[in-house]
Amino acid sequence: MNMTDSHGLISVPQAVEHVADADVLVLDVRFKLEDPHYGAQAFNESHVPGAIYLDLDHDLSSPVVPGVTGRHPLPDPDVFEARLREIGLRRGDRVIVYDDGPGFYSARLWWLLTWLGHDQVSVMDGGLKAWREAGLPLTAERTVRPWPGDFTAQPDDNLLVSADELMAQVAERQDNPKYVILDARALERFRGEHEPIDPVAGHIPGASCLPCSGNLDAEGRFLPPQQLRARFPQPGPGQELVCYCGSGVTACHNILAAVVAGLPMPRLYAGSWSEWITEPARPIGVTEPGAD
């Protein structure tokens, strides 16, 4: 049975019907960049019954290599496969992922599982906020699934684009570039007016700003597909959308939004801005004051 009401999303009313199914794995990925211990602590206090916690820094990313990687490098597929087997993921399982609500961290795990070949994964639209607002139960009890699971990672690197590929396009300055590059960060960070996290401000030259927060309505749920579709530029013949952000996390939110909108799945520049700026030869785009 397909749990999703729109590819990649599942509503809270649908999720509550399936969280107790034997072939459903519920994953909690709450996180705060400013408080890395928050997610695990919040999970220990209360979570959706049956959920298992995965941490952005420790599970959904590889260790940072200063001066080489971005802030959240992709996990090694073999290491992540082992972790997913450890929590009991089986090849036939359906996965429901949630965070506090907006889906910024859920979309990262949705993308990772899609990249590794597990396509039965859905983000709970509205996350734990919507679950609570529906008056649904929470628990502090831990869940252990039968293990180990038998999930086998099969990475599809066609979903990725490298810094070198983007650099080649930037250097050529083509009128009709292959990649239509979209930056998921807030406009002030894209423009280089304010950079609270990374040591260098600006954006990849030629990119356009498409803040991931714009994918959501006032309740923190994804906009309807037709409204999401209107946010994205229409690629020309032979062009592909590429998404990036600060460290490759919220870019996945734009990728999920594109899929929900019925568009071809954009590629991810996983290293994103925090990797781009590790190489001084890579140019920096900065919007001039007063420019649109």
Q: Which one from 209, 212, 243, 245 is the annotated catalytic residue?
A: 245
Instruction: Specify whether 243 is catalytic.
Output: no
Rounded Cα–Cα distance for residues 122 and 6 (Å): 9
* Fold classified for 158-276: Oxidized Rhodanese; domain 1 (3.40.250)
Q: What is the pLDDT of residue 144?
A: 87
Band of residue 135 on the pLDDT scale cut at 50, 70, 90: very high
Q: What is the pLDDT of residue 1?
A: 39
Q: What is the pLDDT of residue 7?
A: 75
pTM of the model: 0.95
Band of residue 6 on the pLDDT scale cut at 50, 70, 90: low
Closest CA to 268 of 182, 189, 185, 197: 182
Structure confidence by residue, pLDDT tens digits, 166-176: 999 998 876 77
Helix axes 251-260, 106-115, angle to 10 degrees: 70
Tokens 């972790």 correspond to what residue? 83
Rounded Cα–Cα distance for residues 196 and 180 (Å): 26
| Helix, strand, or coil (residue 251) | helix
Tokens 């894209």 correspond to what residue? 190
Structure confidence by residue, pLDDT tens digits, 53-104: 999 999 999 999 999 999 999 999 999 999 999 999 999 999 999 999 999 9
The yes-or-no verdict on residue 292 having pLDDT over 70 is no
The percent of residues above 70 in pLDDT, for the chain, comes to: 96
Q: What is the pLDDT of residue 173?
A: 74
| CATH 3.40.250.10 domain position(s) in the chain | 9-155, 158-276
Q: What is the pLDDT of residue 3?
A: 54
243, 266 in Cβ contact below 8 A?
yes
Please report, as a single letter, which amino acid is at residue 134. A
**What is the chain's length?**
292
Rounded Cα–Cα distance for residues 11 and 5 (Å): 7
Tokens 């996350």 correspond to what residue? 127
Structure confidence by residue, pLDDT tens digits, 221-262: 999 999 999 999 999 899 999 999 999 999 999 999 999 999
Report the Cα 195 to chain-centroid distance in Å.
21
Please report, as a single letter, which amino acid is at residue 96. I
Sheet with 179-183, edge to edge strand ranges:
208-209, 179-183, 240-244, 267-268
Rounded Cα–Cα distance for residues 45 and 145 (Å): 20
**CATH top-level class for 9-155?**
alpha beta
